[in-house]
Amino acid sequence: MNPFILGLQARNLTVEIHHHSAYQIVLSNDTPFNSTISGKLHERIHGFLIKPHVNHFCVAEKGTLNVLNIEPYSNIGLELASRFKENEASIVFDSPVETNVFFQTPKDGLDISKIIDALLSKLPSNDYDERVKKIVEYIKENYFKSDITPQTFADIVFLSPSRLAALFKEQTGSSLSKYLLWTRLRQAIYLTLSEKDRSLTDIAYDTGFYDLPQLNKYMYEMFGMPPKALKFSSDLIQVY
């Protein structure tokens, strides 16, 4: 899985009007749904791709939705940005066929893993610098530490913080701080949905946030809802 893609699968989802910093792809596995985007109602659609910071909400009282959130300044986010026409804020898919044509995937049904693979296949091949790989591995093993700083990373690979920041952005399209944030948010969401008896405060601490308000802030900024809403507003059945 690309580290800048966060995917959820949900049943019986109704989401209030919101906007967020990520690109978002919402696709129906089965039943058409309704969505209002920038004040315009789209009825019985099968999906959409939306730019960051565009107001929207979904009503899918039956069926299953796949929701992919993509960090906008990652390489995959920049590739998605290139698919929009000038002044276009969203792309709506009225049928599964339209969805598969857009993402260049097989037309015999919706397979979200194939859509993710198709998105990643559009990226140029990149032989990542060993120092970038080392930082990625460090974050994977230590994301929960709240005292990580740019100097922490620099000391690991013997580069200055500014040189390492430039190298990481050159290779991934995004900053080190965003990579660390996405890692923490993915894990916080996973724990929120898989261990529903745990308190959100404990989950915030255990994933590297200073406290629950900080987790709430970043969750809302990136995905348009706090963890409490994610936990209770829908029947989430799978995290990719």
Which CATH number does the domain 5-121 belong to among 2.60.120, 2.30.30, 3.30.70, 3.10.110?
Answer: 2.60.120
Q: Counting beta carbons within 10 angstroms of the beta carbon of residue 88, is it exposed (0 to 12), middle (13 to 18) or buried (19 or more)?
A: exposed
Q: What's the pLDDT score for residue 145?
A: 95
- Alpha carbon distance 129, 96 (integer Å): 39
Rg (CA), the chain: 18
Q: What is the pLDDT along the chain (240 residues), one digit of tens a residue?
A: 567 888 888 877 777 778 888 999 999 878 899 999 999 999 999 999 999 999 998 888 778 888 899 989 888 899 999 999 999 999 999 998 899 999 999 877 788 888 888 988 888 777 889 999 999 999 999 999 999 999 999 999 999 999 999 999 998 888 999 999 999 998 999 899 888 889 999 999 999 999 999 999 999 888 888 888 877 765 565 665
Name the helix (H) or strand (E) containing 132. helix 130-142
- Beta pairing partners, 42: 35
Determine phi and psi for 109, rounding to 5 degrees.
135, 170
- Asked, colleague to colleague, whether 5-121 and 130-234 share their fold, the answer is no
Q: What's the pLDDT score for residue 147?
A: 93
H helices then E strands: how many in the chain? Answer: 10, 8
Q: What's the pLDDT score for residue 20?
A: 86
Tokens of 27: 């696709």
Report whether CATH 1.10.10.60 matches the domain 130-234.
Answer: yes
* Residue ranges per structural domain of the chain: 5-121, 130-234
Tokens of 11: 């049943």
How much is the pTM?
A: 0.86
- Alpha carbon distance 96, 84 (integer Å): 19
- Alpha carbon distance 198, 206 (integer Å): 11
Other CB atoms within 10 Å distance of the CB of residue 52:
19
- Beta pairing partners, 25: 49, 68
Closest C-alpha among 151, 222, 237 to residue 181: 222
Specify the residue for token string 């290779």.
Answer: 171
**What is the residue type of 210?**
Y
